[in-house]
Structure 1
Amino acid sequence: MTRIGKGQVLRTVALALSMGLIWATAACGAPQGQEPTKAQPPATRPSGNVALFAPSDGITISQHTPLNKWAKLLPEVTNALRDEGFGKGSITTKTSDSLDTQSREVQDYVVDGLTQAGAKGKKDSAAKAKETTLVIAPVIEASDATRQYGDYTRSDYPISKTDNDHGDKDQADGQRRDGAGTNGGDPADKGGKDSQDSQDAALRRLVSSLNLAKEAGAHVILLSNPLDGFNPDLFVNMSTPEEIGAVQAKEMVNKLALDKASSKNPKSIELLLPYTLSQSDGQVGRGTDGKGSSDSGEGSQADAQGQEPAELEDAFASRAFAGVWQVLQPYFKAGKAYSPSNCLTAESKTEDWTNCALDADKSSKIREQLDKRLAMTSKADAHTRIDGIICMNDYVVSGVIEELDALGYVGSSADVNPTITLPDLVGSITGKHDLTRHAVPDPQSPDDQGTEDQSAGGNSDRHAANQSGDQAAKWPVLVGYGAYLDTIAQIVNGKEWMTALEDRQAMSAGIAVASKALNQGKDVHQLAGMESTSMNGGQVPMLHKPLLAVSASNLKDILIDPGYISLADAGL
């Protein structure tokens, strides 16, 4: 047996204590709970830079405020970018009140920061450009009627095919123009007879600058409106006229249960299509007489403002009508729906949109038009039965509510479903009750036991005599668009059944994710939810979020809980 001496034991103990001290010291230098020898994870790759260019908020003519505003979207996009790792200093935001100003600001940003001419050198400019995304919503001029839908509506504004360009050479060369960012650098900026030339020049300047950005290696996300001659890396498709019309028509079909209606007892529906026809004499005629003709008998918007603005106004209104009519036409053809004013018939075509158009620049004009449609001037008149009114936007809804009250219509849109009461609606919004929706009952008519119906068109005379005073005076289902803050309370009290708006939060998140992917050299086609659209003869990735349809039954979930509005905004 080997004997261990006292000295050897002491040396062994000392060695053990020394090793323990070394390990303890190493452990003290590491974060608690982390292995001392574990390698640190690599630093997160920077997300790069994003420049946001958007219009300054337009103002609707009545000062009503829809939720679809650029001032609401930009902060949400910024917050979403921060969530994706973009630093505060790497996000630039610029708003402009005209296309001319915006085109110059984009040009300056591209030339000064992303090209070799503006950056320190070719290597520096190329590196920065590859990690930069421009997110731009072009400043497109809109009529008063179009602005009532909010700021996100789509208008495909073409660049005029002219040679009168005040800056193409400078733009193509990527040179910063003198006076850029001001209104003093271009003779066309002075307005007057060259105002259309100035608009065309601004469009070409913008397109040229965006193409230059892409040539330098940067990326472009285009919001809402396509541009002739430019294909972005991603197009964000926002409110189209067809969608705005279709979402309201579908809600009307569901609420009135048109699938269960019969030609013996059809539903009465009116469409109020806002349309602005600005003339030098101040008269507006299209659609106000139900015949698509001008009350003044002469002049046109094209005469007063130039052909392209008139064409844009026509295009938006006619496309919105097409969205409505695609949904409603089968019910009119089947005799399940009719228009008391005959602005819509079974024979109506998409080009007949002017028959339903009205001048909506003042609430008084909306009320006058509703009187004509219902053949009433006061509550003393015999009431015309009206089951539903598609108002197209919440500004028109406000005028309709005022006039229905004045004409003596009673109840609310919620009364169409007798199981829903006002306390139920309020309790649902405040989270105190669950709202159960039931099938809408089809009111009985005296001729339900009579003979078969005749034709699908011209129903107003046939059904007017069949309504008792109480039945005819019942409040109709009203649908609109825009989620105006001052009409949210009308959703709560049931006077307005439905409004709609963009899903801003989902859209903002999608823009932020796409910006990060582009800056990291990834293919946005591979991102979740991406679609594709044709543009300028090519295919472009497209981000699109369905419109949010809001009624009292889901107002809390869609508007209040996400923070779009507060309980106070809803009048609670």
Structure 2
Amino acid sequence: MTTRGKHTLARFLAFATAVALSMVSAACGNGQQDAGTTSIDTDKVSVSSAAAKSNVMIFTPSDGISISSHTPLNKWAKFAPAITKSLTDAGFQSKNIKVRTDGTLTKQSDDVQDYVVNQLSSASDDTNRHTTLIVAPATSGNKGNEQYGDYVTNPTDATTYDTEKPANAGSSTDANSNADSKTSSPSSSSSEKSNQTQDGNEKDKADAKDEATAAKRLAKTLKLAKKAGARTIILANPLAGFNPDIFVSMSTPRQIGALQAQQLVSKLALEKTTKMHPKAVEVMIPVGEDDDSTSDTSEAFAEEAFAGIWDVLQPYFKDGRAISPSKRLTATTTDKDWESVAFKASKAAEVKTELDARLNGSSKDSKPLHVDGILGMNDFVSSVVVDELTSLKYTGTAADINPEIEVSGIVGTLTGKHNLNKQAPPKPKDSKQDATEGEEQEQTDGEGDLSWPIITGYGAYTDMMPDVVNGKQWMTGMEDIQKLSHDIAGATATIEAGKNVTDLSYVKAATINGSKMNIIHEKPMAISASNLKHLLIEPGYISLADAGL
């Protein structure tokens, strides 16, 4: 053990002993304050005044260096400053707010332990009672799913949230129960792949062991901080064996999938579609390579995401209102069939090959098939889809998808001149949906109609914003950073004032991994040309230039 490690351990043990003695003293004594110590009466004090006298320490993972705009806006480097600003708006003093970033869970657990030992052990009981630790564990649980952003809640840690299915959409059979059981018990094929990967990669096994050790140490340290009187808030992914004052759940794979499926239902007007004139929809779910150490986490993500997608789309496929040009999805598909639409997508070329195979038909000489909507899951996939559809000679602009949208109109909307109201896209040019209700029409693959489809993604990549504006990509999505930051600051001020956090409208009680917790959760945002100004430009996430304007 290094000298630093010995000294840290000694301080940690001394602090633990001090905490234990203070707890005994509190139990036996009459609760009198030490001379010269000014206590905050949490029964009478206002939330704002408590905030002004409180300390907040924020620990987040580091983003790493990114020199490309082809990355999600869901980054810790944007979230931590947003939390800090919301805290100051809520009455916390900027000098009492500190932020620390770490690249690994091992380093983060060391830093949290050092803070608890060095700061809380030497602070007064009153200071400890008015200190909040906000920690986003720097786990590798999202490894392989970085294309969605930094803070997606892992499938096994996610509660089941309402997917807000459209009216009369129905639901897939046992979608929630199947998804929950599958994430905790992978399929035998996935398990075999996992075993093969682990057997062939000793470094990954060692890293996983180190991370597990660090997680236990972090949980132990935070428990000690709570006993000393500090408050704790965990972001994105919970720590096993530790129950914080508040857990902030981020977007789940199920929500990301359901969000895009809902957009397709809305924009393709599937509620008004009949089985005689179905809409052609392709679902593309990327996963890692079989020999990649990230394949297990990406497959778990894909499995849960498809459960969210199929919960929304299954009724339309079941009654024939939606079809799959590639035949990957049918009326008999269940939420267990996620692998039918999953494909290896670590490189752009793999996305291109997959899309070609689905749309080019059985012959290389055949004309690509008609498609009304493509659910791309993330903006990496959707960006390649946009490029490849162009290469395949699909044509269209925002005006073709929605005749009311023109680039000049979007510019006017983004500069505040008037509102932009999107309507459902028009029928394909060769559609027979104008036929009378009584006419019998056979379903066709729609070969020959190369009008531009609705394309969805997630991640809000900066370099994809021009395609969102011009309608090549209909929508993207990202975490509601501003709202979550406001919630976190409000909840922090509330618990610092000693008030009941469950009285806040945005705090709910839920069970995660068998533990009851106070949960903050906001639904991810669906971003399109109509709301891009309000959701991305006004908050400062992107500029007009980023949007191609």
Question: TM-score, length-normalised on structure 1?
Answer: 0.75
Q: How far apart, CA to CA, are the structure 1 residues paired with 2:98 and 2:531?
A: 36
Contact 1:58–1:151 (8 Å) recurs in 2? no
Is the CA contact (8 Å cut-off) linking 1:54 and 1:138 kept in structure 2?
yes
* Aligned counterparts, 1:46-195, within 5 A: 46-58=52-64, 64-114=70-120, 118-119=121-122, 124-142=123-141, 145-155=144-154, 194-195=206-207
1:540 is matched with: 517
| Larger-gyration structure (1/2) | 1
1:376 positional shift: 5.9
Aligned to 1:179: none
Deviations 1:7-59 (A, max 9, x none): xxxxxxxxxxxxxxxxxxxxxxxxxxxxxxxxxx9x94433110100011157
| 2:540 is the alignment partner of 1:555 | no
Q: Is the 8 A contact 2:57 2:133 kept in 1?
A: yes
Q: For residues 347 and 142 of structure 2, what CA distance do their matches in structure 1 show?
A: 14
Which is further off, 266-275 or 551-560? 551-560
Verify: 1:318 aligned to 2:317, yes or no: no
State how far apart, in whole Å, the 2-side matches of 1:238 and 1:556 are: 23
Q: Which amino acid aligns with 2:461?
A: Y
Q: 1:182 corresponds to which residue?
A: none
Instruction: Tell me: CA distance 1:194–1:435, structure 2 relative to 1, closer, same or farther (3 Å).
Output: closer
Q: How far apart are 1:215 and its partner, in Å?
A: 1.3
Match of 1:473 in 2: 450
Equivalent residue of 1:428, what SS? Answer: helix
Task: Describe the shift of the 1:342–1:398 C-alpha distance in structure 2 as closer, same or farther (beyond 3 A).
Answer: same
Deviation of 1:276 after TM superposition, in Å, equals 0.6
Distance 1:223 1:231 in 2: 12
State the alpha-carbon separation in 2 of the partners of residues 519 and 97 from structure 1. Answer: 29
Q: Does 1:214 align with 2:226?
A: yes
- Opposite residue 463 of structure 1, the aligned amino acid is T
> 1:96 deviation in Å?
0.7
Is the contact between residue 144 and residue 276 of structure 1 (CA under 8 Å) also seen in structure 2?
no
Are 2:241 and 1:229 aligned?
A: yes
Aligned residues of 1:156 and 1:227 also touching (Cα < 8 A): no
User: Deviation of residue 229 (structure 1)?
Assistant: 0.8
Matching residue's letter, 1:408:
K
Shift of 1:537: 3.2
**Which residue, 480, 483, 487 being the options, matches 1:510?**
487
Counterpart-to-counterpart distance in 1, 2:142 and 2:488: 28
Q: State whether residues 394 and 499 of structure 1, in contact with CA within 8 Å, keep that contact through their aligned partners in structure 2.
A: yes
SS in 1 for 2:242: coil
- Write the letter of the residue equivalent to 1:112: N
Deviation at 1:142, TM superposition (A): 4.6
Cα distance in 2 for residues equivalent to 1:310 and 1:438: 39
Q: Residue 345 of structure 2 aligns with which residue? A: 360
The superposition leaves residues 262-302 of structure 1 with CA deviations (integer Å, 9 ceiling, x where unpaired) of 111100111110111251xxxxxxxxxxxxxxxxxxxxx5x
Match of 1:401 in 2: 386
Equivalents in 2 of 1:142, 1:59: separation in Å? 19
Distance in 1 (alpha carbons) for counterparts of 2:339 and 2:378: 17
Aligned length: 455
For residue 417 of structure 1, the aligned residue among 385, 391, 402 is 402
Pairing 1:338-487 to 2, within 5 Å after superposition: 338-375=323-360, 381-412=366-397, 415-443=400-428, 445-446=431-432, 448=435, 452=440, 462-464=443-445, 466-467=446-447, 469=448, 472-487=449-464
Partners in 2 of 1:557 and 1:452 — Cα distance? 46
* Distance in 2 between residues matched to 1:365 and 1:506, nearest whole Å: 36
Q: TM-score, normalised by structure 2?
A: 0.78
Pick aligned residue for 2:320 from 335, 348, 351: 335
Contact 1:210 1:220 in 2 (8 A): yes
User: Compared with structure 1, are the counterparts of its residues 413 and 361 closer, same or farther at alpha carbon in structure 2 (3 Å cutoff)?
Assistant: farther
Shift of 1:82: 1.3
Residue 446 of structure 1 deviates from its aligned partner by 4.8
SS at match of 2:222: helix
**Deviations 1:464-496, CA, capped at 9 Å, x for gaps:** 2x55x3xx1101100111110000111111101
Identity of aligned residues (%): 45
- Candidates 509, 512, 520, aligned match of 2:497: 520
- RMSD of aligned C-alpha atoms? 2.6
In the alignment, is the contact (CA less than 8 A) between 2:69 and 2:462 conserved in 1? no
* Distance change (3 Å), C-alpha of 1:346 and 1:377: closer
**Residue type matched to 1:138 in 2?**
P
SS in 2 for 1:259: coil
In the alignment, what sits opposite 1:250? 262
Are 2:286 and 2:302, in contact at CA under 8 Å, matched by a contact in 1? Answer: yes
| Structure 1 counterpart of 2:57, one-letter code | A
One-letter code aligned to 1:126: D
Counterparts of 1:26-45 in structure 2, within 5 Å, are 44-45=49-50
Q: Are the counterparts in 2 of residues 221 and 236 from structure 1 also a CA contact under 8 Å?
A: yes
- Partner deviation per Cα, 1:433-492 (whole Å, 9 max, x = no partner): 4323334444464595686478xxxxxxx512x55x3xx110110011111000011111
Change (3 A) 1:202 1:261: same
Residue 507 of structure 2 corresponds to: 530
Cα distance in 1 for partners of 2:96, 2:287 equals: 42
Is this contact kept in 1: 2:152–2:251, CA < 8 A?
yes
Q: Which moved more, 1:488-497 or 1:63-72?
A: 63-72
Give the one of 282, 287, 290 matched to 1:270: 282
Q: Is the 8 A contact 1:129 1:218 kept in 2?
A: yes
> C-alpha separation between the residues in 1 aligned to 2:422 and 2:69?
35
Does the aligned pair in 2 maintain the 1:413–1:476 contact within 8 Å? no
**Alignment-mate amino acid for residue 240 of structure 1:** T
Q: Is the 8 A contact 1:58 1:147 kept in 2?
A: no
Contact residue 154 and residue 240 of structure 1 kept, 8 A? yes
- 2:231 counterpart letter in structure 1: H
Q: 1:56-98: per-residue Cα shift (whole Å, max 9, x none)?
A: 1157897612111000011111111111222222111111111
Unaligned residue ranges in structure 1 (runs of 5+): 1-40, 159-189, 280-300, 455-461
CA distance in 2, matches of 1:536, 1:446: 51
- Whole-angstrom distance in 2 between the partners of 1:354 and 1:389: 17
Cα pair 1:394 1:482 within 8 Å, conserved = yes
Cα separation, 2, equivalents of 1:331 and 1:554: 28
Determine the C-alpha separation between the residues in 2 that align with 1:371 and 1:143: 29
SS at match of 1:317: helix
